[in-house]
Amino acid sequence: MSSFFIKKKGPQKVFKKSDLPGSKRKNDGSTGNKLQKKLTSKHNEEISSDSETESPAVHRKRRANVEEEFDETPQEKKLRLAKLYLDQLRNEEEKKAEEESFESELIAGRLEEDVLEQKGKLQRMVAKDLLPPDESEIRLLRGHKLPVTCLVISPDDKNVFSAAKDCSIIKWDVESGKRLHTIAGGRKGTEDRHLGHTAHILCMSISSDGKYLATGDMNKLILIWEAATCKHLYKFTGHRGPVSGLSFRRGTHDLYSASHDRSIKVWNVDENAYVETLFGHQDVITGLDSGSRERCVTAGGRDRTVRVWKIAEESQLVFHGHDGSIDCIQLINEEHMITGSDDGSVSLWNVNKKKPLSTVKAAHGQHGDMGLEQPYWVSAVAALHNSDTVASGSHNSKVQLWKCGQGFRRLEPLFSVPVNGFVNSLKFSSSGKFLVAGVGQEHRLGRWWSLKGVKNGLYIIPLKRQLSEKLDAPNAEEKTE
């Protein structure tokens, strides 16, 4: 491309203003026309080059945006950006407020639930959704040589610990049904060299955090184990009779123990220390349970009393209601409990009332020959914590599930589950998804008679529900009076 800025040999031509393209003055030479054509041609080439990559509509839009940006003053641009920033902040604050409102409602619901639980007025309405399990779904876990006497379920529902008259302890995996660990029992007289029990194990308890396992036996001993590894930690001595009841206070490592020596003892497991002893029962204590408060409840066997022990005040409340020996007891929540007796009855109690709120006579039917019918003994009871569902066991080949009516004023039968043998222990899982029954050929407290053909072991009973989500729903509860 030639340019008039390049010097050439020969005489130079001087251009005047009138010779440039676009001048009003008439140019009669050809140089101006040629330069005009070259500039016009280059301009056309540049336009056609751009038009190859974008459409006329896009080009017009771009020109409009450029003009709009060009027309916006710096002050207007600052104002526009400030408005956008404020809108963004407003949206973020609204979103944050919604999240905080949801969290506060959730926390408020939990706090209200905790208050109701402490007052003993939290009652999850679970029973109406439960369905009888299929017999084919009930599993029997066998491993003990003699009758199972007691069991506990780990807080995460993954493991079951069971103990028996053969002095052994077995840790089970619930899902697979396999034995994870076995602590073998020893022979009588080998206490000095055997880490486990050498007498019938009558009771056991696990701390609410799953750290400690406690077991008590006929030989007056309480042994403390590390639940995860089944490692032996401590040995508590002091009772003058068989240890018949153990319970960890919920949320702590304080342990309550009951004995045939008619006393209650308090222990601090973390410190491996004895705390104090309480007296009051007039006969052997057959069962014990506790919640989160500094108190425990006991069944007094043939003194026919239920007692609530206020540990801090060193006082006790005495309740009467059964006609026979009260053999088992379980807290439903902080203010309600269920008991079973060898008179065949099951009773519901409020810790503030001296008489049962409701009693079912002959809860498991009657048996006998020649018209001398006697009710089946109630040998075990269990409660799904903070709910309206409880269970009882006997030796009539059935576990009975019950619904606690509104305000715990009555017990209504739900359904029964076939279980063969003496039901010596019953426990609901924390989630309420299954129930475990420890069974044997004999009653856990004696050898009055033996049931032939019964298999000693654990029955894992799944609990079906019509609407499974209702069990865990925060609003699936009712305040009781």
Query: Could you tell me if 90 and 236 lie in one domain?
Result: no
Write down the pLDDT at residue 280.
93
Give the structural domain span for 93: 57-119
Q: Domain for residue 68, yes or no?
A: yes
Q: What is the pLDDT of residue 369?
A: 60
Of 78, 99, 119, the domain-final residue: 119
Say how many domains are in the chain. 2
Which parts of the chain sit beneath pLDDT 70?
1-71, 104-106, 108-122, 369-372, 467-481
Does 23 map to a domain? no
Do 109 and 198 belong together in one domain?
Answer: no
Residue 20 lies in a domain: no
State whether 470 and 379 are in the same domain: yes
pLDDT digits (tens, 9 = 90+) for 169-228: 999 999 999 999 999 998 888 877 888 999 999 999 999 999 999 999 999 999 999 999
Same domain, 270 and 386: yes
Q: In this predicted structure, what is the pLDDT of residue 187?
A: 87
Check whether residue 273 and residue 207 sit in a common domain: yes
Query: Is the residue at 460 inside a domain?
Result: yes
75 Cβ contact partners less than 8 Å away, ≥ 6 residues apart? none
What's the maximum distance between 2 C-alpha atoms anywhere in the chain? 152
Q: Which two tokens stand for residue 413?
A: 């039968």
Residues 436 and 368 in one domain: yes
Give residue 41's pLDDT.
47
Domain CATH number, residue 236: 2.130.10.10
Query: Where does a domain end: 103, 119, 135?
Result: 119
Burial letters for 302-331: b for 16+ Cβ neighbours within 10 Å, e otherwise? ebbbbbbbebeeeebbebebbebbbbbbbb
pLDDT for 98: 79
Within a domain: residue 429? yes
Q: Where among 66, 91, 119 does a domain terminate?
A: 119
Same-domain status, 348 and 403: yes
Whether 278 and 321 map to the same domain: the answer is: yes
CA dihedral 377, 378, 380, 382 (to 10 degrees): 170
Q: Are residues 430 and 398 in the same domain?
A: yes
- Output the pTM of the full model: 0.74
Output the pLDDT for position 5. 45
Same domain, 253 and 378: yes
Q: How far is CA 471 from the centre of its chain?
A: 11
The verdict on 102 and 132 lying in the same domain is: no
75 and 201 share a domain?
Answer: no
Report pLDDT digits (tens) over 431-460: 999 999 999 999 888 877 788 889 999 999
Question: Is residue 472 situated within a structural domain?
Answer: yes
Give me the pLDDT at residue 108, please: 65
Is residue 371 situated within a structural domain? Answer: yes
Q: Which residues contact 147 (CB under 8 A, 6 or more apart)?
A: 164, 165, 421, 422, 424, 439, 440, 441, 442, 444, 456
On whether residue 281 sits in a domain, the answer given is: yes
